[in-house]
A and B are shown apart, each in its own frame.
Chain A
Amino acid sequence: MNRVRNYFWRVVVSLIFAAGLWATVVRFTRGLGGATHLSDSFPWGLWIGFDLLCGVGLAAGGFAIAATVYLLHLEKYRPILRPTILTAFLGYMLVIAALMYDLGRPWRIWHALVFWNPRSVMFEVAWCVMLYTAVLALEFSPMLWERLGWAPVQRVMRAVTIPLVGLGVILSTLHQSSLGSLYLIVPTKLDPLWYSPLLPLFFFLSSIAVGMAMVIFESGLSARAFGKALELSLLKQVARVMAVTLAVYLLLRFQDLVWRGVLSQVWTARGETALFWLENALLAIPMALCFSGRLRSNPQGLFGCAVLVVAGFLANRLNVSVSGLQRSAGAPYFPSWMEIAVTLTIVAAGFVLFNLAVRYLAVFRPAKYDAVTVGVPEGTTPLRSWL
């Protein structure tokens, strides 16, 4: 049975990669216009709305858990640390990969280093992506050094971990909120159900909630795939943090509608209204469920809640970046199959890389992290098996 399932997933991933390869060839020989449904009236589509906005958000667990373990010294969360950092690192690498498709002239991505415009939110976003990817690479690297048995490098890494984690927290806060700030400049274009001066705060809060959801989600997947899961008691705590963050977020979200005097619009019969309720129901239902102690003790229930929160988060980001802008654009946008193929390829690549990392690095069973270990950590496949 397990074999059949593995075979099935291999076929699916291969098909996705084949479609993605085809789309890649079209994108880089026929230009953005040949591969996407983007236009002058709809210049940002799925690659910005999903790959960038959602990719960065889903990686938010990385800074939150790193801060919990290293800055708050809550040692019990250490087992979550490595899978979360790995997710964040892979997430950011994949965001950069997506940017290479979306930028009109991707080979000039370094221009933001040389030509400065500090008044641009996009400039802030570019610097956050670059710096935080570097920080994540360093935070992830101990898994590699330990694997290679490079003790001196491990010692250096341990010395700089604390300032590095602090830097990561600041950069992430800036980055998560700045993705919301990107849309502050379109007050007349973005639908009032989503346009708010509080967009940066909303993006930050929801990213923390979805970061927690991703911790639970990955633990569930890993339990199934590798038989490696996190302790239920820890996940229950993570779920509680998630529920409280969501409660604060949703309270502010509706209060903001009142402040801006657009609360009445949540009842008008429009497509936007349905999407608004879908998004908020997907966040409110798991929030309510996670406040119940009984549900939190049920691994399947926790996993289900995490999936709902991730779905609600994706709905929110796609509403801000796509559905909320359709009406003012005057031209409908729906991604081309090639845009979808590239996005699926990037998601699939994330799963494959995570899988490889879990197999060959000590992601779920860190060998005594603070002691310098030499040799193959327990519970991982010897390196030569995939060479």
Chain B
Amino acid sequence: MSTAARAAIRQAPEAPEELRARQRRLVLVLALYASSFILFWWAASAFYYRSYGGLWADLAGWVGGILSALVNFEGGFFVWLGRIVVAILSVAPLFAAIFFVGMGYRLARWLRDEHPRPASANPLFDRHFRGIFSELFVFTALAAFIWWITGNTVENLDRLGKPPGFEFLNNTAGFGINQVLFVDYTETSSYGKALLVGVLNTLVLSFTGIVLATIIGFIIGIMRLSHNWVISKLAAGYVEFFRNTPLLLQIFVWYNVVLKPLPGPRQSLEIGSVFINNRGVYAPKPIFTDAWWFVVAAFVIGIVASWIIARWAHRRQMETGRPFPVLGAALALVFGLPVITWLLVSLFAGSPVHFDYPQLRGFNYQGGMRIIPEFMAMLLALSIYTGAFIGEIVRAGIQAVPHGQTEAALSLGLTRGQMLRLVIIPQALRVIIPPLTSQYLNLTKNSSLAVAIAYPDLVAVGGIVLNQSGHELEVIAIWMLVYLSISLATSAFMNWYNAKMKLVER
């Protein structure tokens, strides 16, 4: 409706029934708004005072916590994380206030006759009014529910004598962890540090699992598409078996049936200088000298140089049509340069890397690098299980590229390799990547099943902390926050990658 038309309507004298309808609407809106506002405010303030004393005190404590966490990293990370949770909860009334201002604006707009309607219409049958009404209703009901839960929780915690808060994370953990990577952890470290070790173990397991599952998945997917009947049925059998049994069962099988009955350290299976026994896999541990940095630098230079060459080759091909063997050059640079550097360094400064071999002393191996059996079981179970799902995704993705694309590529005179690399794979990847992302996330979340065989991931370590300290609420909040951040970060990265791949299509 144009402004002029609306003005014309405004100036027209109002019929008495229209006036009454208008007044009725106004009263209804005001009553609704006021009642839900009061109800909400009552709920919110009760929620806020019953649980966390005061907003400003919290905010001050929070800022102090960040500063102290920055100064002293020991365990402080999770104290800080916990404070974010508290802060979000504390400013919940603020969000609610924003919500109510917005709702008031929408109701006012509705009252201002922006939608034409018959004068006698009951507002309860108006689509827009009903929308606003149901939103107010849902929001207020939810707030009341949260208020009820929080109140109960605070009362229960009071009764149990457990004040909520994340300060307990600074207490001494007092338990050992059998896989500590990247950080120093001892029994005298704090709970916070123990959780950090758990997070790192989760990340390491998920990352290696994702790499391995992708490899398995692509092999299985391609096998399923094979023209060879035996191979494709073999892959189908793999998928149907591993997809239709619980992952937890598979973890138990790998751990209890495959890895536990391995021989003891004295009868270890030997593959070169790698020893496999029921205490884990022992491998030589590389020890890098300072000269190793030259090799690393050569590797980085190789990557940068191949990137530059790729750009230059692309531009030259666009201008002149002359292709350049980028892949070969890049491989030569990325792998050749470090190898040459390695040889040169070895000639002049001695080998930049030497190995610490595991030695059998007494009943067990000492030295070297140990991979604990729990990790092996989790890695095998996760990657084989997820590989079955990825295999199906890869198959669907490749099948989604129409056959005409293959024919067109071949008729342009591309070789089979070029066809795969330039035509089929880019199009298949667009179909593959979104479900692949969710499989990666599933694998990361499934790594939490490690608690069943006591691989010290975040959930298993958190479980010990929970039992020792009795702070269920805080530990569970940390679990959820960490997994949520991993999930959101992964999906953000994959969305970015997905958007980049989409550009292939014009």
Is the A/B pair a real complex?
Answer: no
Interface, chain A (partner B; CB < 8 A): none
